[in-house]
Chains A and B, each alone.
Chain A
Amino acid sequence: MQITTKGRSLLQEYASVQNTKSQAGFETFAKQLALAIASVLRNNLDLVEELAGAIEPNHQIQMLRDETLRGLTYLAQMSRIPDEELFKICLDFWHFFSGDVMTKQQRQAQSLHFGAMAIPGLNLAGVQHQTAPSLLHAHVYPEVLREVKNILFDHMAKPKEVLLSIDDNGEVEEEYIVDTENIALYETMRETLIFLSNANTEEMIQIVNLRLE
């Protein structure tokens, strides 16, 4: 992969073929790639996390970690390519991914709590070892999740309560037709944002404040 993209991001790659005859081909390629990465990660995430969390990492596990990060990075880059269909493929994955991260985090918080309750001050090291966040959660995901939040903020769909829209001339006008597709998109994005802000509230607030300025 590194060789094919020559170190450039997929977004730069897209910009270089935009408005040329290879654009359609690149879009198809990106969609297939997104589908492939998304389904591999979706189906194997648990296994990957378990393996990558091994106590004594060898270079294969290191590679697994790197490749997971690379896959996620590619998905993040592709989310920024202005193609609606591609965005939906990526969004679908982020929805699953953020839900998964949140669930695992909550489960972990619970079991830590229970562990501490059951044997106060005793053998905590053992308990923590079992329930410690996987290395991926601790070291690989935060960076990706931050980028996902930014992507979502940049692409947020219009909620149905807002009746104003901007026409092609930049004028504000009233919207009469209910856009069902857009509402469905909004709902998925909303859920994803809720997962993400449950997983890391402080960072969410930080990003919003940063953007307000």
Chain B
Amino acid sequence: MQAAGRENNINFDQLNKLCWALGSISGCMHVERENAFLCTVIKELLNLCEKSTTKNTKAQIAADIMYVVGQFPSFLVNHWAFLKTVMNKLHEFMHESHPGVQDMASETYLKIAKLTKQMFVRVNDRDGEPFINQIIRNLPQNLKDLMTH
């Protein structure tokens, strides 16, 4: 991903395939090893997402990130701050008008929410209230760009 600067040179086909492959091997490493591994991967992906300029590439990387995080619920449960970031990021993607991104964000949202439900009702460190309260408060704002199917 040093190629991030030369954006056009990135082979998205390869990046996608790599993400699909590494998302699919969820759960076959030791927990600590998997955590460390996932941290590097996601950090790289987020970096790449920041650096990309066109809608097209952003949407691609967003889809990859969403897929990868959705595949590792145990990691999310152990890293509350990260889970919160992911959820906020998904809210952001729900306003993204690029075709498919909203749908995928909503589906990933549902998937993660189902797999890590206990985290939303618990009071997690400095927040002072369960995250679900925040979600409900911001619900109208977050849903305004979504369409019914």
Contacts and interface: CB of A to CB of B under 8 A. Distances in A.
B63 interface: yes
Contact of A205 (B23, B37, B67): B37
B21 interface: yes
A208 B40 CA distance: 10
A162 B100 CA distance: 9
Interface string B29-62: 1100100010011001000000000001001100
Contacts of A211: 14, 18
Contacts of B20: 156-159, 162, 186
B136 interface: no
Given A186-B24, A197-B28, A212-B18, A161 B70 contact: yes
Contacts of A156: 17-18, 20-21, 24
Contacts of B56: 170-172
A189 B41 contact: no
Contact of A162 (B1, B37, B41, B63): B63
B24 A193 contact: yes
Contacts of B30: 201
A212 B41 contact: yes
B28 A201 contact: yes
B2 interface: yes
Residue among B41, B100, B101, B111 with max Cβ neighbours from chain A (10 Å): B100
A175 B100 contact: yes
B129 interface: no
A198 interface: yes
Nearest to B56: A172
Contact of A164 (B2, B24, B29, B63): B63
Contact of A174 (B28, B99, B108): B99
A164 B100 contact: yes
B143 interface: no
Contacts of B25: 190, 193-194, 197, 204
Contacts of B100: 163-164, 172-175
Contacts of B92: none
A158 B16 CA distance: 8
A161 B67 contact: yes
Contact of B63 (A153, A163, A186, A205): A163
* In the complex, the 5 A-B pairs of residues with the closest C-beta atoms, listed nearest first: A174-B100, A156-B17, A190-B24, A156-B21, A174-B99
23 contacts: A154-B17, A157-B20, A159-B67, A161-B67, A161-B70, A161-B104, A162-B67, A163-B63, A166-B13, A171-B56, A172-B56, A189-B21, A190-B24, A190-B25, A193-B25, A194-B28, A197-B29, A201-B29, A208-B22, A208-B41, A209-B40, A212-B18, A213-B1
Interface of A: 152-159, 161-164, 166, 170-175, 186, 189-190, 193-194, 197-198, 201, 204-205, 208-209, 211-213
